[in-house]
Amino acid sequence: MCAAATRAQGLSDDDFHPTDTQVEGIQQSCTVNETGILALQQKVGSAIADWNKATAGARPAAALKQLDGYFDQVRKDGGLSGRKAIYILCVEKALRQFVDERRETPQAVVGSGSSNPLQRSSFSSEEDMWRNGCKQAQDDAVSKLQPRCGDRTFILVGSECAQLSGSVRTYTAEVQGECRGK
């Protein structure tokens, strides 16, 4: 009766909330044949929409902790037969699975960073200056990207930094990474 959650597709990289269409798919996968189920589906859909709004800026783990409260409100309305209670449990479980799958999917992040202005006379060679400047620029980019991963781990995938010329140089690095894990 309770099918697996709809795969997380069509979302922005940092959002774990299902779209309205995906919520409908989750609800359809859990539907039961019972009088009054349409009204219950509307209540559940409304509870999920309220949860989406309330947890828009939250991390997935924090948002999942709040999910119980939204489903408890629907349960408190009473008058739930065994089938309707199973329907609510199925939707809640599928929604949790959806968020967990989304959290486990690596999230691509891209950003740039800059070095401090560097003087050529402070380094033993062009290559030494380039390495130092690019390292500073990469570290700056990574420090900006790590917070975007929240409770997930930032993994550096790639970095590009051009070798410059001149007596004073500021290097810029373009960094590609992924947020992984829970």
Q: Does 11 reside within a domain?
A: no
Range of the domain at 131: 107-180
Q: What is the pLDDT of residues 121-142, one digit of tens each?
A: 999 999 999 999 999 999 999 9
Domain check: are 83 and 117 in the same one? Answer: no
Domain boundary among 47, 75, 104: 104
Residues forming a β-bridge with 179: 107, 154
Residue 82 falls inside a structural domain: yes
> Which residues partner with 110 through β-bridges?
176
pLDDT score recorded for residue 37: 86
Of 74, 89, 104, at which residue does a domain stop?
104
pLDDT tens per residue across span 25-54: 899 899 888 888 888 899 999 999 999 899
- Sheet strand arrangement including 172-180: 107-114, 172-180, 153-161
Amino acid at 89: L
Q: Which CATH number goes with the domain that contains 164?
A: 3.30.1660
Looking at the domain assignment, is residue 133 inside a domain?
yes
State both tokens at 44.
């559940």
Same domain, 89 and 137: no
Quick: pLDDT tens for 96-113. 998 888 777 888 899 999
Q: What is the pLDDT of residues 69-99, one digit of tens each?
A: 899 888 887 778 888 889 999 999 999 998 8
Q: Which two three-digit tokens encode residue 99? A: 């968020």
Dump strand ranges (E) for 6-149: 107-114, 118-119
Look at residue 12 and tell me if it is in a domain: no
